C-alpha cells in the first residue's frame, strides 16, 4: 500500500495545533505593537513626576509604585516580543540597579521609529545595520559628553551629586531626606578601596507607623523581633551563632528506647537535661553573652540560657545570619556546642529597643568602622514603605556604579538632547540608507526629555525646541526644569542634576540590542499549549438534545 503524501506547506509539516505567522504584517508589526503597549505602561512613570501604577499580581498582592523594575516583574507578560523587553529591564536592574524605565521606554521608541522606516519601504536588514552603526557612534560621542567626575567616595558632598538625582526620580520631595540616610549609611561602611563597596553592606528594615522623618541609620544590624530571653541587653559581648536549632540532642535515625520502670524513665529525661545544661554551662564559661539561633529554640534550652544570663536571638533568614557573621566576625556553626575562640564574634551593644509599637533587636558596633549599616524606614502604609525601600535601593546601587566608573553626565534630559543633536549631524554627513536609521535613532532619544516634560505638565514640543536652541548655542548642560520655572529649562550642573555614565551607557546598549533582536524576527512559530482547554465547556442539562 502506497504511503499518503501530505500537502505541502509549513503547517502540514508540523504537528496539529501549531500556529505560524510571517512577514511584516503578521510578525514584525505585531511585535512592535505589543512592545508599544508595554512601553506606554511604564512611560508615564518616568521621572520625578511619574505616576504610580497599581498592580495586583497572581497572588493578589497589591503594589502601588512607579518603579519600572517592580512593575515589569509583577506583570505576567505572555507575548514573546514584550517578554524580551521585560528580560532586558530585569538585566538592567540586576547589573546596574537603576534606569530600568529608560531601557523599556527607549527600546519601545526605537521600534516605533523602525516601524515608520519599514512602512516607507526600507528592508529590516537595512534598519538593523543603520541602528548598529548609530549605537556605535552614540557610545563614542557619549564618552565626550561627561561634565563632572566623583573624586572621593568618602566625601558626603561628592556622593550627594549622584544619590539625590536617582532618589528624586522615585520619591520627589523626599530626595534630600532619603539621600542623607543613604549617604550616612554608605560612608559608615565604605571600605578604603572604594571599588570593593558592597551593596549588601547596607540593609533596610521597614517598620510601620510614625512618619518618614523618623527614619534613621543604625551602625550594625536591626532585626524586627525582640530577643527570646529574659535578659534584653548585653554590652561588649562575645557572640555565638548557630545555624541549627538549640534543643535536646536528637538522633539522626529513628531509635527505640525500652524503659522498664519509672526510675529508668526519670533517669533518661534527667540525662538529657544534664547534657543540655552542661553544654550551655560550657558556653557561659567561655564568656559567651549572646546566642543567635537560625532555627527553633526549645523551652528547656531557653530555661538554661536564661539561668546563665545570656541574650538569645532567633534569626530565621540564612542571608541575615551571613550578614550578622560579617558584622560580628563570628562563624556560623552547624552543630550546637562551644565555639573555638576564633569562631566567636564580638559586638559592642546587643539590645532590645522599641521603635514605634514594635520591639526590635539591635546589634550595634560603636567602633569607627562597621561592615554593615541598617536604614530603619518608617511610614504610614506598607505600600509607601515598600516604595521608599525601592528608592533607597536605587540610591545604594548608583553608589556602587560610580565606584566602578566615576564619570557623570548632565541629567534632566540634557544628555539625551545633546546626543540626539550630535547624531542628527552624523546622519546628515552619512551616505546611503544608514542615514535614515541614524536619524530615527536620534529621534528616539528625544523620547526621554519629551516624556519628562509631559509628565511634569509642560508643553513638550515647546520645551524640546528650547532645549535644542540652547544646546545649539553651546550650552550643553541645559535640561528640563520640571518645576516649570525659567521657561521650563535649567542648568543641570548648577542644580547638581547628574546621570551616571556607566549606567546610561549600559542602558543604551541594552535597549538597542533588545530592539535589534525584535526587529530581526520575521517568523513566529508557536506550538499548541500542553494540557486541556483552559475554560471547561458549559455542560447543558442531561436531557437536552444539543
How much is the pTM?
0.80
**What does the pLDDT look like over 523-545, one tens digit per residue?**
777 676 665 555 555 555 656 65
What pLDDT score was predicted for residue 377? 87
Q: Is the pLDDT of residue 20 over 70?
A: no
Q: What percent of the chain has pLDDT over 90?
A: 0
372 and 421 share one domain:
no
Say if 173 falls within a structural domain: no
Give the Cα separation of 64 and 355 in Å (integer).
25
Say if 388 falls within a structural domain: no
CATH number at residue 290: 3.50.7.10
Say if 384 falls within a structural domain: no
For 402-463, the DSSP string reads HHH--EEEETTTHHHHHHHHHHHHHHHT--STHHHHHHHHHHHHTHHHHHHHHHTT--HHHH
- Continuous segment of H or E residues that includes residue 346: strand 345-355
- Least confident among 163-172, 221-230, 261-270, 328-337: 261-270
Give the Cα separation of 464 and 484 in Å (integer).
13
Average pLDDT, the chain: 81
Say if 182 falls within a structural domain: no
201: pLDDT confidence band, cut at 50, 70 and 90? confident
Q: Are residues 126 and 118 in contact, defined by beta-carbon separation less than 8 angstroms?
A: no
Say if 534 falls within a structural domain: no
356 and 428 share one domain:
no
368 and 501 share one domain:
no
What pLDDT score was predicted for residue 1? 47
What pLDDT score was predicted for residue 271? 66
DSSP letter assigned to residue 15: P
- Least confident among 165-174, 356-365, 378-387: 356-365
233 and 365 share one domain:
yes
374 and 439 share one domain:
no
273 and 346 share one domain:
yes
Q: What is the mean pLDDT of residues 431-438?
A: 84
Domain carrying residue 473: 15-147+410-526
Q: What percent of the chain has pLDDT over 70?
A: 86
What pLDDT score was predicted for residue 101? 87
Residue that is written with C-alpha cell 519601504 in the block: 121
118 and 224 share one domain:
no
260 and 375 share one domain:
yes
495 and 365 share one domain:
no
Say if 262 falls within a structural domain: yes
**Residue among 145, 144, 147, 129 nearest 441 (CA):** 129
430 and 342 share one domain:
no
- Alpha carbon distance, N-terminus to C-terminus of the chain: 41
**What does the pLDDT look like over 152-168, one tens digit per residue?**
788 888 888 888 888 88
230 and 270 share one domain:
yes
What pLDDT score was predicted for residue 416? 87
CATH number at residue 518: 1.10.560.10
**Residue among 258, 354, 242, 359 nearest 305 (CA):** 242
Say if 498 falls within a structural domain: yes
Q: What is the mean pLDDT of residues 92-101?
A: 84
62 and 139 share one domain:
yes
Q: What is the mean pLDDT of residues 443-458?
A: 86
Give the Cα separation of 7 and 9 in Å (integer).
7
Say if 166 falls within a structural domain: no
Q: What is the mean pLDDT of residues 510-527?
A: 82
10: pLDDT confidence band, cut at 50, 70 and 90? low
Q: What is the mean pLDDT of residues 511-527?
A: 82
Q: How many domains does the chain have?
A: 2
Q: Is the pLDDT of residue 119 over 60?
A: yes
**What does the pLDDT look like over 255-300, one tens digit per residue?**
676 777 777 677 666 666 777 778 888 888 888 888 888 877 878 8
Q: What is the mean pLDDT of residues 420-437?
A: 85
Dihedral, CA of residue 75, residue 78, residue 82 and residue 88, to nearest 10: 60
Q: What is the mean pLDDT of residues 360-366?
A: 81
SS3 390: helix
Amino acid at each position: 500500500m502506497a504511503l499518503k503524501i501530505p500537502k505541502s506547506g509549513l503547517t502540514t509539516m508540523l504537528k496539529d495545533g501549531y500556529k505560524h505567522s510571517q512577514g511584516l504584517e503578521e510578525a514584525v508589526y505585531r511585535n512592535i505593537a505589543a512592545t508599544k503597549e508595554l512601553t506606554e505602561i511604564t512611560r508615564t512613570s518616568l521621572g520625578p513626576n511619574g505616576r504610580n501604577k497599581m498592580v495586583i499580581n497572581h497572588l493578589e498582592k497589591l503594589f502601588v509604585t512607579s518603579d519600572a523594575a517592580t512593575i515589569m516583574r509583577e506583570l505576567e507578560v505572555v507575548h514573546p516580543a514584550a517578554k524580551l523587553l521585560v528580560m532586558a529591564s530585569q538585566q538592567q536592574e540586576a547589573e546596574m540597579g537603576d534606569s530600568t524605565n529608560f531601557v523599556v521606554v527607549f527600546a519601545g521608541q526605537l521600534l516605533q521609529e523602525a516601524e515608520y522606516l519599514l512602512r516607507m519601504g526600507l528592508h529590516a536588514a537595512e534598519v538593523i545595520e543603520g541602528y548598529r552603526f548609530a549605537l556605535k557612534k552614540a557610545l563614542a560621542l557619549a564618552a565626550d559628553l561627561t561634565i563632572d567626575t566623583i573624586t572621593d567616595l568618602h566625601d558626603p558632598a561628592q556622593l550627594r551629586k549622584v544619590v539625590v538625582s536617582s532618589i528624586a526620580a522615585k520619591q520627589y520631595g523626599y530626595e534630600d531626606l532619603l539621600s542623607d540616610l543613604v549617604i550616612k549609611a554608605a560612608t559608615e561602611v565604605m571600605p578604603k578601596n572604594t571599588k570593593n563597596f558592597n551593596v549588601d553592606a547596607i540593609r533596610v528594615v521597614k517598620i510601620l507607623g510614625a512618619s518618614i522623618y523618623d527614619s534613621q541609620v543604625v551602625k550594625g544590624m536591626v532585626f524586627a523581633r525582640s530577643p527570646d530571653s529574659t535578659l534584653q541587653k548585653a554590652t561588649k559581648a562575645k557572640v555565638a551563632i548557630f545555624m541549627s536549632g538549640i534543643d535536646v540532642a536528637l538522633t539522626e535515625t529513628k531509635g527505640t528506647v525500652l524503659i522498664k520502670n519509672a526510675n529508668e524513665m526519670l533517669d533518661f529525661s534527667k540525662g538529657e537535661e544534664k547534657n543540655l545544661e552542661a553544654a550551655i554551662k560550657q558556653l557561659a564559661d567561655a564568656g559567651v553573652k549572646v546566642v543567635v539561633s537560625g532555627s527553633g529554640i526549645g523551652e528547656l534550652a531557653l530555661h538554661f540560657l536564661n539561668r546563665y544570663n545570656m541574650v538569645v536571638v532567633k534569626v530565621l533568614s540564612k542571608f541575615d545570619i551571613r550578614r550578622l557573621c560579617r558584622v560580628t566576625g563570628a562563624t556560623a556553626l552547624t552543630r550546637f556546642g562551644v565555639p573555638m575562640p576564633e569562631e566567636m564574634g564580638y559586638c559592642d551593644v546587643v539590645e532590645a529597643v522599641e521603635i514605634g509599637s514594635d520591639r526590635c533587636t539591635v546589634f550595634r558596633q560603636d567602633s569607627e568602622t562597621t561592615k554593615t549599616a541598617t536604614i530603619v524606614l518608617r511610614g504610614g502604609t506598607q505600600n509607601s514603605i515598600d516604595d521608599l525601600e525601592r528608592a533607597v535601593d536605587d540610591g545604594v546601587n548608583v553608589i556602587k556604579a560610580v565606584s566602578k566608573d566615576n564619570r557623570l553626565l548632565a541629567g534632566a534630559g540634557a544628555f539625551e538632547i545633546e546626543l540626539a543633536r550630535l547624531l542628527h549631524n552624523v546622519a546628515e554627513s552619512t551616505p546611503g540608507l544608514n542615514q535614515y536609521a541614524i536619524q530615527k535613532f536620534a529621534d528616539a532619544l528625544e523620547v526621554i526629555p519629551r516624556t519628562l516634560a509631559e509628565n511634569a505638565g509642560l508643553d513638550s514640543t515647546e520645551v524640546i525646541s528650547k532645549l535644542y536652541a540652547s544646546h545649539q548655542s553651546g550650552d550643553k548642560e541645559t535640561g528640563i526644569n520640571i518645576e516649570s520655572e525659567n521657561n521650563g529649562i535649567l542648568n543641570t550642573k548648577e542644580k547638581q542634576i547628574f546621570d551616571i555614565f556607566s549606567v546610561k551607557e549600559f542602558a543604551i546598549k541594552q535597549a538597542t540590542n533588545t530592539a535589534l533582536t525584535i526587529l530581526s524576527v520575521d517568523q513566529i512559530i508557536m506550538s499548541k499549549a500542553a494540557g486541556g482547554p483552559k475554560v471547561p465547556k458549559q455542560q447543558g442539562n442531561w436531557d437536552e438534545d444539543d
